[in-house]
Amino acid sequence: MSDIVEMNDAQLLAYLAEVSQRPDCSYGAAIDMASTAIARQAATIERLRAALEPFAKVADRYDPDEGDDLQVAWDWSPTIGMLRRARAARTGAT
């Protein structure tokens, strides 16, 4: 199972397709593989949400929309760490 966790998404999908065609493929194995894929996607979603949280909190201060989308947020600047976390979340890095 640990080998599956190390696969990227394309490799995992190819592996699932290949395994599902085997005559000895059991429902238990298929469920385990699907659970692994779901857990990976859930972790990605959580990482993206966490990286976006500081930006969303600042956006709350600028509601309602007053046609000012092109203006600079004058009372806040993202930190370098926030930018790096956003980049890491987008690329899947840790």
The predicted-structure confidence for 27-85, as pLDDT tens digits, reads as follows 777 777 788 888 888 888 888 999 999 999 998 988 888 999 888 888 888 899 988 88
pTM for this entry: 0.61
Q: Which domain holds residue 37?
A: 2-91
* Radius of gyration (C-alpha) of the chain in whole angstroms: 20
pLDDT reading at 1 higher than 50:
no
How many domains in the chain? 1
> What is the average pLDDT across 2-29?
74
